[in-house]
C-alpha cells in the first residue's frame, strides 16, 4: 500500500503512466490505488512531494501495466470526485527523465546529452502559490547548508527550480504587492522581536513621554508613577513608539488634559 513511490521506480520499461491532476494535498497513493486498481493492473503510484515540506504537490502518477487498462482508467476516472476535488486523469506526456511519452508509454529514451536537455515546451505558468512557499522556506531555512546542498543535487531539473526562479528577481514593488495574508500575519508579530532587541533603557517603563527628552523627570510622575493605570504596559510602550505622539492623543479624547497637569512644569521644572 504505502510502498508506492518509496522504493523508486520499480519498472518503467513496459508501463503506461497516467498523470493525475487536481488531487488534494492530502491525497496519498493509498487513496488512489483502490480507485485505479479497479480498472487494471497498477504497477506503481507516485505522488511527487515537496522536498522541503514533504507535502504533496497536488498531482500523482499512476502507472498501469497495460495501455488499454490505463486508457480505461482515464476514461472512467477523469473528472472523478476524489476527496472533495475533481481529479483530472490523463496520459503522461513526459517521463521521469524527460523522456517523451506517447499515451503514457515511453517511446523515446532520454534525449541526447548534447541536444536540448528538456524539450518540455510548456505554456507559461504563473505559480502564485510560490509566494507562500518561498517565505515558508526561508523561515525554516535555518540550516541553509542542507537546503543548499539539496538544491545542488537536483540542479538541472527545471521543475525544481521553476518555483524558485520566479521570485527574488522581481521588483520590490511586485514583491510587496504579491504578499498574501500569510505575510501579513508574519509581519504582525514581527514587532515582538523588535522589542526584544531594544536597548534596556527602552525596556524599563519609559516615564519620558514628553517631547523634551532632557526634562523627562517630572515631580508628579516621580511622586505618583502609578497614576496612569496603563501607562506602563509594554504594549502601550510599543504603541507609543509607533504613534510618536503619545501626549497628543488622550484616551479620553482631551488633548488638553495631557498637558494640563503641568504646563509650567514642562519648562519651569528641572
Partner DNA sequence: GTTGAGCGTT
Instruction: Enumerate binding residues for DNA (CB under 7 A).
Output: 5-9, 12, 17, 19, 21-25, 44, 46, 48, 55, 57-59, 61, 63, 85, 88, 90-96, 98, 101, 120, 122-129, 132-133, 136, 154, 157, 159-160, 182, 185
Question: Do the Cβ atoms of 249 and 194 come closer than 8 Å?
Answer: no
Residue 195 CB, nearest distance to DNA (Å)?
21
Nearer to DNA, 87 or 237 (CB): 87
Element (H, E) at 160: helix 158-161
Residue 103 CB, nearest distance to DNA (Å)?
11
Nearer to DNA, 147 or 240 (CB): 147
Q: Is 110 left (phi over 0), alpha (psi -120 to 50) or beta?
A: beta
Nearer to DNA, 169 or 188 (CB): 188
Residue 235 CB, nearest distance to DNA (Å)?
23
Residue 58 CB, nearest distance to DNA (Å)?
2
Nearer to DNA, 72 or 85 (CB): 85
Nearer to DNA, 100 or 215 (CB): 100
Q: How far is CA 139 from the centre of its chain?
A: 9
Residue 153 CB, nearest distance to DNA (Å)?
9
**Residue length of the chain:** 270
Query: CA–CA separation, 240 vs 255, rounded Å?
Result: 15
| Residue whose cell numbers read 523561515 | 139
Residue 194 CB, nearest distance to DNA (Å)?
20
Nearer to DNA, 154 or 194 (CB): 154
Question: Do the Cβ atoms of 180 and 131 come closer than 8 Å?
Answer: yes
- Looking from the CA of 198 toward its CB, the CA atoms found within 13 Å total 17
Q: Is 40 left (phi over 0), alpha (psi -120 to 50) or beta?
A: left
Q: Is 16 left (phi over 0), alpha (psi -120 to 50) or beta?
A: beta
Nearer to DNA, 76 or 208 (CB): 76
- Cell triple for 216: 523627562
Nearer to DNA, 123 or 190 (CB): 123
Residue 105 CB, nearest distance to DNA (Å)?
9
Residue 28 CB, nearest distance to DNA (Å)?
13
Pairing of strands 59-64, 42-46: antiparallel
Residue 100: Cβ within 10 Å count: 15
Taking every pair of C-alpha atoms in the chain, what is the biggest distance, in angstroms?
97
Question: Do the Cβ atoms of 56 and 25 come closer than 8 Å?
Answer: yes
Amino acid at each position: 500500500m504505502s510502498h508506492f513511490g518509496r522504493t523508486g521506480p520499480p519498472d518503467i520499461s513496459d508501463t503506461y503512466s497516467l498523470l493525475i491532476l487536481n488531487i488534494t494535498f492530502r491525497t496519498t497513493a493509498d487513496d488512489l490505488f483502490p480507485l485505479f486498481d479497479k480498472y487494471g493492473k497498477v504497477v506503481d503510484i507516485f505522488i511527487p512531494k515537496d522536498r522541503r515540506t514533504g507535502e504533496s504537490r497536488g498531482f500523482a502518477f499512476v502507472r498501469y501495466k497495460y495501455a488499454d487498462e490505463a486508457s480505461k482508467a482515464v476514461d472512467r476516472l477523469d473528472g472523478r470526485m476524489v476527496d472533495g476535488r475533481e481529479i483530472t486523469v490523463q496520459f503522461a506526456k513526459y517521463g521521469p527523465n524527460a523522456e517523451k511519452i506517447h499515451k503514457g508509454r515511453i517511446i523515446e529514451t532520454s534525449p541526447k546529452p548534447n541536444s536540448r536537455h528538456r524539450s518540455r515546451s510548456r505554456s507559461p505558468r504563473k505559480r502564485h502559490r510560490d509566494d507562500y512557499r518561498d517565505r515558508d522556506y526561508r523561515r525554516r531555512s535555518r540550516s541553509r547548508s542542507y537546503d543548499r546542498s539539496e538544491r545542488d543535487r537536483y540542479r538541472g531539473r527545471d521543475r525544481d527550480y521553476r518555483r524558485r526562479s520566479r521570485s527574488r528577481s522581481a521588483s520590490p514593488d511586485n514583491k510587496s504587492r504579491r504578499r498574501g495574508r500569510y505575510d501579513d500575519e508574519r509581519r504582525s508579530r514581527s514587532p515582538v522581536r523588535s522589542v526584544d532587541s531594544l536597548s534596556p533603557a527602552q525596556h524599563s517603563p519609559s516615564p519620558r513621554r514628553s517631547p523634551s527628552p532632557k526634562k523627562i523627570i517630572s515631580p508628579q510622575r516621580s511622586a505618583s508613577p502609578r497614576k496612569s493605570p496603563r501607562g506602563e504596559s509594554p504594549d502601550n510602550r510599543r504603541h507609543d513608539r509607533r504613534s510618536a505622539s503619545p501626549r497628543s492623543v488622550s484616551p479620553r479624547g482631551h488633548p488638553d488634559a495631557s498637558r494640563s497637569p503641568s504646563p509650567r512644569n514642562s519648562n519651569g521644572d528641572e
